[in-house]
Amino acid sequence: MGVPDFRVGGRNFATLASQDEGFGNLKLTPKLQQLLIAESPDIFLPINGGWGRIGMTHIRLAGAKYLIALSDRLARTERRFPRRSTIYDFHPTVLA
**Which of 23, 73, 70 is CA-nearest to residue 44?**
23
Per-domain residue ranges of the chain: 5-90
One digit per residue, the tens of pLDDT, for the chain of length 96 reads: 578 887 877 788 888 888 888 898 988 889 889 988 988 888 889 999 999 999 999 988 876 676 667 666 666 655 555 454 444 444 444 433
Instruction: Give the Cα separation of 61 and 44 in Å (integer).
Output: 10
Length of the chain as a residue count:
96
> What pTM was computed for the model?
0.64
